[in-house]
């Protein structure tokens, strides 16, 4: 199973605008894999959205999941 991740802002500068990872079953595994492959992400602040919903705890993923890493933002 391959999960496609969309990255924005400074996070896209680190890893590119999109990344695919194989064999990740949940967001905790996804974060571990991303931090291993892109160590600068481990030092960056971001939130994870799954299927357009910001998550606050470990969430299961499947091939149809849409995952986005969102950096801090402000504005009005």
Q: Can you give the pLDDT at residue 76?
A: 59
Q: Can you give the pLDDT at residue 47?
A: 96
How do residues 42-69 score in pLDDT, each as one tens digit?
Answer: 999 999 999 999 999 999 999 889 999 9
What is the third-level CATH fold of 2-70?
A: Ubiquitin-like (UB roll) (3.10.20)
Domain ranges of the chain: 2-70
Q: CA-based angle 71:74:76, to the nearest 5?
A: 145
Residue 1's SS3 state is coil
For the chain, the distance separating the N- and C-terminal CA atoms, rounded to the nearest angstrom, is 39
């Amino acid at each position: 199973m391959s999960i496609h991740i969309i990255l924005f802002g400074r996070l896209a500068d680190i890893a590119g605008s999109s990344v695919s990872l194989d064999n990740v079953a949940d967001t905790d595994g996804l974060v571990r894999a991303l931090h291993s492959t892109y160590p600068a992400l481990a030092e960056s602040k971001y939130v994870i959205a799954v299927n357009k919903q910001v998550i606050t705890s470990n969430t299961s993923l499947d091939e149809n999941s849409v995952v986005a890493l969102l950096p801090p933002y402000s504005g009005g």
